[in-house]
Structure 1
Amino acid sequence: MLRVGLTGGLGSGKSTAARLFAQYGAYILEADAIGREMMQPDEAVYAAIVEHFGPAVLREDRQLDRAALARIAFTEGRVEELNAIVHPAVIARQAELAQEIFASDPRAIVVVESALIFETRHTEVKDGESAPWRSRFDCIILVAAAEEVKIERYLQRMAAGAPLTPERRAELTADARSRLSQQIPDARKAELCDFVLVNDGSIAELEEQVDELWPVLQFASVNT
């Protein structure tokens, strides 16, 4: 068994890397997807968010208004309040799902895709562990890219194929820079990670790096 953390900043391409690892047989646990499930009505996390932030974060259909919630979190500087509600529940669910996988496949490689492995302050600390993410993973992979590349990818994702006006491009660029400013720079993350995938170029170049790394992870999964 091997517990792998896969991280990278906004627009780094970590989701693309996760898909490539999945093609080799890795089990992927996407932190954002787990979080979205927990933000559905009747879930405890949903109730806690509404209680804390108020009805302004709800749409008419009682679903969370994720855009409004993001504005409150990032624009008003309340992101840590949101993280304190969401992160512990998501991390606990990740551990639960990983154990279920390992119970049925002892040699499984479980990859947790998460942008905020290092940034979160809401991980349970055991035995005085100063770096709690080390108790969650056997190794950590960083997907790194230049900031301008990340921003351009974010713009393309938000545009969803539609042309961007200069005003909208400027707005999204400012949003991307704000989000990136709240994340640890790649250079610092690289010092903490076991492996780094550089994703400034084509998907083919990223594929080559994943192809080289996969046998290393397989060996570790048998010997961990």
Structure 2
Amino acid sequence: MITVGLTGGIGSGKTTVARLWKKRGAVVIFADDLAKEMMRTDSKLKKKLIEVFGRQTYRDDGSLNKPHLIREAFEKNRVSELNGIVHPAIQKKTKQLIEDARASGVRLFVYEAAILLNNGRPDYVDKVVLVTADREKRLERVSARDDSSEAEIIARMEKQPDFDSLHHLADYILFNNGTEKELKERAEEMYQKLIGNN
């Protein structure tokens, strides 16, 4: 089995690539979805978040109080604290999911995460694929799909890593300044290359 870390900024096309590979048979874990699930269900993680960000982090019914957490983490510049709690739990769970996939005979395991390379290259992936596109193209794509202002989109982009400075950590770079059809063709070629290495 080969494990692939798939990364790229908002609007780069990484989710399109991940979905295509999932249709082709890869096991795909979306880091954002995994984080949301774990923040909802993992009792140790919930306890730690409450200790650090207060009882209001969870509502009386046990659901995550997202507005409170966003206010505490982003408006009070405590994002690194939040990441320091959530990311180790996600990494541990991801490693467990990789082992489960390996044991069940999966050929390609994909971990899709925008912040995959924030602390260097993770040791639990064999290959890193970076999907990238010009800033204007990314802005155009996100504007078309989200109900967000240009200023809001730019603010989200600026909170993400500078992917141009991370090219050296990637094994493969998929440039996506063209059409979705062209991206899918390149993603299919990359899929064949990855499973061919397996």
**What's the TM-score, normalizing by structure 2?**
0.88
C-alpha displacement of 1:42: 5.8
* Alignment: residue pair count: 198
C-alpha separation in 2, matches of 1:77 and 1:194: 33
5 Å-filtered alignment, 1:46-195, equals 46-59=46-59, 61-105=61-105, 108-119=107-118, 121=119, 131-133=120-122, 135-159=123-147, 169=149, 173-195=150-172
C-alpha separation in 1, matches of 2:56 and 2:104: 43
Stretches of structure 1 that go unaligned for 5 or more consecutive residues are: 122-130, 160-167
Q: Percent identity?
A: 35
C-alpha separation in 2, matches of 1:208 and 1:92: 33
Query: 1:116 is aligned with what amino acid?
Result: I
C-alpha displacement of 1:7: 0.5
Q: 1:69 to 1:153 in 2, by over 3 A?
A: farther
**What's the TM-score, normalizing by structure 1?**
0.79
C-alpha separation in 2, matches of 1:72 and 1:153: 30
Q: 1:157 to 1:65 in 2, by over 3 A?
A: farther
CA contact (8 A) 1:6 1:111 kept: yes
SS of alignment partner, residue 39 of structure 1: helix
The match for 1:14 is 14
Q: 1:76 to 1:152 in 2, by over 3 A?
A: farther
The match for 1:218 is 195
CA contact (8 A) 1:38 1:44 kept: no
CA contact (8 A) 2:121 2:169 kept: no
C-alpha displacement of 1:55: 3.4
